[in-house]
Amino acid sequence: MIPRTALSGHVRVPANNTAIDSVEMRDYIDPMAENINSTFEHELKRLEKRVDALVHVCDQLQDENRSLKQRQDVLTSERANLLQKNEQVRARVEAMIGRLKAMEQGS
């Protein structure tokens, strides 16, 4: 079946027994090929924009990931320092308690 758009306008529709690659069909096929190429180029540009956007998002996520890893390293270091200080304070408090008990028993 011949598309309705081919029947209207300047495109001459060949008879049913005409070969698809004949000179008579060229006037019918060329506009279709141009339309397909245009659609393909449009789709290719759309996909290119999407890929560019994905690359941009990946770059942002990599930057954020790097920043979060640095922050985690800082926090891990701070935590280790705080645990060490906590142990020092615990040891000092236990020593003070021991001295107080010794003073109490000596009195």
Q: What is the pLDDT along the chain (107 residues), one digit of tens a residue?
A: 455 444 444 445 455 555 555 555 555 556 666 778 888 899 999 999 999 999 999 999 999 999 999 999 999 999 999 999 999 999 999 999 999 999 999 87
Which residues neighbour 104 within 8 Å (Cβ) at sequence distance 6 or greater? none
E strand or H helix at 23: helix 23-106
- Residue keyed to tokens 């690659």: 21
Q: How far apart are CA 81 and CA 76, in angstroms?
A: 9
pTM exceeds cut of 0.85:
no
* Eight-state DSSP code of residue 22: S
Q: Where are the domains of the chain?
A: 22-106
| Token pair for 84 | 């060490």
Q: Is 49 helix (H, G, I), strand (E, B) or coil?
A: helix
- Amino acid type, 59: D
